[in-house]
Amino acid sequence: MQICFMLYLLNELLALIATYLPWESLQILTQVSRLFWEVAMPPFFRLLCFEPPQVLVVLNIEYAVLEALSIWRCTNAFILPDSIWFSVTGVTTDCHLNVLSIFFESLKGYESFLQVHLQLLTAPRQPTYSFVHLLNCIRVSGCKNLHCHDVQQTYGVLRADLKLSSFTRAAPSCFSKLEVLEMTSSLLFSLAVIPFTVTTLYNSPISCLILKNTLLTAAQWSTLLGHLSMQHLRSLEVDDSCTAYSLVMFLACHNVRDLTFSQGHPTVSRSSHAPVCLPLPSLEHLDGPPACIHSLASFAMLPTTLESLTVCFW
């Protein structure tokens, strides 16, 4: 029977030894035993320039502290943040995404937190499995607000001849507490990510939905809206490329109070459908450019109780 003589050393001496170790060795040491975990954790955090917060509202995740997240998550000092920010840039690797996925997976079953901001500054044009897995981990973690936005970059999108119905018919059930969903990136509508997007829209109690910079065609917009049933939806913002006919048919089945047209794809699709006049009694606020509002009014009966109408000239 071998005896580990380090266990007989004073804790103060073990802590002193730990200060001479590199962060890789300290990370391994945290996985040996509870004693070594407590000894190695403080110098490990110091080397990564990570200071566990005492009161936490917003957590900005930098690459340097990614390795510290899993250790911090296991401490008694862990505080569930109200908001998490993470930027995907050109130097983001699958390793970074995988570490972040593990962190979000560990939050499943925990008390729900408020929001996640995923900034796609220079996201990859071809999303990897790790990126899609991260999105899925965020969705099932219990967060209520998810914001995915970029700086108006154009990524690989669905082919114009590809029908969205192949994804809407196969959308599986999943756990989600998302109430606010903002997708202002065509990356979320690329071939690799569209299953996540459709599944999230189908399974979340979303009350506020923002879909911008989608680059969807008129037919794809029609399919997407035609298959959605979002009974909790109260606020909707879409690209000005969303066809008015498809939008009115969607609004007629929902109780949307706030509707906003945002500047999106430069080509505004014209509908070939014959004019209809569907009532939209729940609509209270309408915001957008004149062409979009006029097109909407040609298919819908705007309520006399409309509280505000904002016309934007870009």
At which of 204, 233, 262 does a domain end? 233
Residue of 36, 45, 43 whose CA lies nearest to 19: 43
In a domain, 54, yes or no: no
Whether 223 and 299 map to the same domain: the answer is no
Whether 267 and 215 map to the same domain: the answer is no
The model's pLDDT over 202-222, given as tens digits with 9 standing for 90+, comes to: 999 999 999 988 888 888 888
Of the chain, the end-to-end C-alpha distance in Å amounts to 79
Residue of 243, 255, 264 whose CA lies nearest to 189: 264
pLDDT value at 232 more than 80: yes
At which of 233, 258, 291 does a domain end? 233
Whether 229 and 243 map to the same domain: the answer is no
In a domain, 60, yes or no: no
In a domain, 13, yes or no: no
In a domain, 85, yes or no: yes
Helix (H, G, I), strand (E, B) or coil at 297: helix
CA 34-39-40 angle, 5° bins: 100
Tell me, yes or no, if the pTM score tops 0.85: no
CA 39-40-43 angle, 5° bins: 110
Count of domains in the chain? Answer: 2
Q: Which residues contact 58 (CB under 8 A, 6 or more apart)?
A: 81, 82, 83, 84, 85
Whether 272 and 216 map to the same domain: the answer is no
In a domain, 24, yes or no: no
Whether 100 and 224 map to the same domain: the answer is yes
Reading the block at residue 9, the tokens are 């050393």
Whether 205 and 245 map to the same domain: the answer is no
Helix (H, G, I), strand (E, B) or coil at 235: strand
pLDDT above 70 coverage of the chain, percent: 81
The alpha-helical segments, DSSP class H, found in the chain are 11-18, 23-29, 34-47, 66-73, 94-106, 129-140, 165-168, 194-203, 218-226, 244-251, 290-297
Whether 184 and 253 map to the same domain: the answer is no
Whether 118 and 215 map to the same domain: the answer is yes
In a domain, 165, yes or no: yes
The model's pLDDT over 130-188, given as tens digits with 9 standing for 90+, comes to: 999 999 999 988 899 999 987 655 555 565 555 666 666 666 788 889 999 999 988 88
pLDDT value at 268 more than 50: no
Whether 209 and 302 map to the same domain: the answer is no
At which of 215, 233, 251 does a domain end? 233
In a domain, 208, yes or no: yes
Whether 108 and 250 map to the same domain: the answer is no
> If pLDDT is split at 50, 70 and 90, which confidence band does 9 have?
low
- Domain with 165 in it: 80-233
Whether 211 and 303 map to the same domain: the answer is no
- Other beta carbons within 10 Å of 52: 15
DSSP 8-state code for residue 267: P
C-alpha to C-alpha distance for 294 and 271, rounded to whole angstroms: 13
In a domain, 113, yes or no: yes
Q: What is the pLDDT of residue 265?
A: 42
C-alpha to C-alpha distance for 105 and 107, rounded to whole angstroms: 5
Whether 105 and 131 map to the same domain: the answer is yes
